Chain A
Amino acid sequence: MSGVNDMSLSESGKCIEVKQVTKAFGKKVVLNDVSLDVKRGEIFGLLGPSGSGKTTLVRLITGLDEPGSGSISVLGEQMPKLGILSRIGYMAQSDALYGELSAMENLQFFSSLYGLRGHLLKERIGEAAELVKLTDDLKKPVHEFSGGMKRRLSLATALTHHPEVLILDEPTVGIDPVLRKSVWKELDVLREKGVTILVTTHVMDEAEKCDRLAMIRDGKVIALGTPAQLKMDSGSETMEDAFVAYGGGQA
Chain B
Amino acid sequence: MDTFDYFGSVLVGFFSFFFVFLIAGVSFLRERTTGTLQKLLSTPLRRWEVVAGYLLGFGLFTLLQATLIAWYATSVLGIALEGSIFLVLLMNLLLAVTALTLGTLMSAYAQNEFQMFQFIPLVVVPQIFFCGLIDLQSMPEWLQTLGRFLPLYYGADALRGIMLRGDGWDRIWVDALALLGFSLLFATLNVKALRKHRRI
Interface-located stretch among A2-10, A95-103, A117-125: A95-103
Bound complex: CA of A65 vs CA of B198, how far in Å? Answer: 6
Size bracket of the B interface: 10 to 19
Instruction: Kindly identify which residue among A86, A88, A110 contacts B39, using a CB–CB cutoff of 8 Å.
Output: A110
Stretch of A30-38, A77-85, A170-178 at the chain-chain interface: A77-85
Q: What are 23 A-to-B residue pairs whose CB atoms are below 8 Å?
A: A62-B42, A63-B199, A63-B200, A64-B38, A64-B199, A65-B198, A65-B199, A81-B200, A82-B44, A85-B44, A90-B39, A90-B42, A92-B38, A92-B39, A92-B42, A94-B34, A94-B35, A96-B36, A97-B34, A98-B36, A110-B43, A113-B40, A157-B39
The answer to the question of B165 belonging to the interface, with a C-beta cut-off of 8 Å to chain A, is no
Give the residue of B43, B197, B198 whose beta carbon is less than 8 angstroms from that of A113.
Answer: B43
Are the C-beta atoms of B198 and A97 separated by less than 8 Å?
A: no
**Cβ of B171: which chain A residues have Cβ within 8 Å of it?**
none
**Across-interface contacts of B122 in A (CB, < 8 A):** none
| B198 engages A88 (CB within 8 Å) | no
| B residues 53-109 touching A (CB-CB < 8 Å) | none
C-alpha spacing A110/B90, complex, angstroms = 33
Nearest 10 CB-CB pairings of A with B: A96-B39, A96-B35, A94-B35, A90-B42, A113-B43, A86-B44, A96-B36, A85-B44, A80-B200, A66-B199
Task: Kindly count the residue-residue contacts between A and B in the assembled complex, taking CB atoms under 8 Å apart.
Answer: 56
Collect the chain A residues with CB atoms within 8 Å of residue B44's CB: 82-83, 85-86, 113-114
| Interface: B191 (CB within 8 A) | no
Bound: A95/B39 CA distance, A: 9
B163 CB to closest chain A CB (Å) equals: 37
Please name the residue on chain A nearest to B49 by beta carbon: A113
**Interface class of chain A by DSSP:** loop
CB nearest neighbor in A for B38 = A92
Assess whether B41 is interfacial by the CB under 8 Å rule: yes
Complex contacts, B197 vs chain A, CB 8 Å: 64
Query: How far is B141's CA from A138's CA once the two chains are assembled, in angstroms?
Result: 62
Complex contacts, A83 vs chain B, CB 8 Å = 44
Query: Are the C-beta atoms of B35 and A85 separated by less than 8 Å?
Result: no
Bound form: Cα–Cα A83–B45 in Å: 10
Tell me, yes or no, whether B192 is within 8 Å of chain A by CB: no
Task: Point out the residues of chain B lying under 8 angstroms from A98, CB to CB.
Answer: 36
Across the interface, do A80 and B199 meet the contact criterion of CB distance under 8 Å?
A: yes
Query: B41 to chain A: which residues have CB within 8 Å?
Result: 64
A100 to B43, CA, bound (A): 21
Please classify how large the interface on chain A is, using the bins under 10, 10 to 19, 20 to 34, 35 or more. Answer: 20 to 34
- Most A CB within 10 A of own CB, among B41, B43, B197: B43
**B34 near A64: Cβ-Cβ < 8 Å:** no
Q: Which residues in A have their C-beta under 8 angstroms from that of B35?
A: 92-96
Query: Does B46 count as interface, using CB distance less than 8 angstroms?
Result: yes
Known contacts A63-B200, A64-B197, A80-B199; decide if A97 and B36 are in contact (CB<8 Å): yes
B43 touches A96 (CB 8 A): no
- Cα–Cα, bound, A113→B43 (Å): 7
How far does the alpha carbon of A169 sit from the alpha carbon of B110 in the complex, in Å? Answer: 25
Question: Closest B-chain residue to A97, C-beta based?
Answer: B36
What would 17 more interface pairs be, CB under 8 Å, given A64-B198, A90-B39?
A62-B42, A64-B38, A64-B41, A65-B198, A80-B198, A81-B200, A82-B46, A85-B42, A86-B44, A92-B35, A92-B38, A94-B35, A97-B36, A99-B34, A110-B43, A113-B43, A157-B39
* Minimum CB distance partner of A84 in chain B: B44
Cβ contacts under 8 Å, A85 to chain B:
42-44
Q: Are B45 and A113 in contact (CB under 8 A)?
A: yes
Residues of the B chain whose Cβ atoms lie less than 8 Å from the Cβ of A64: 38, 41-42, 197-199
Which among B42, B44, B45, B46 has the greatest number of chain A C-beta atoms within 10 A?
B42
Give the chain B neighbours of A99 by CB distance below 8 A: 34
Q: Please indicate the chain B residues that have their CB under 8 angstroms from the CB of A82 in the complex.
A: 44, 46, 200
A92 / chain B contacts, CB cutoff of 8 Å: 35, 38-39, 42
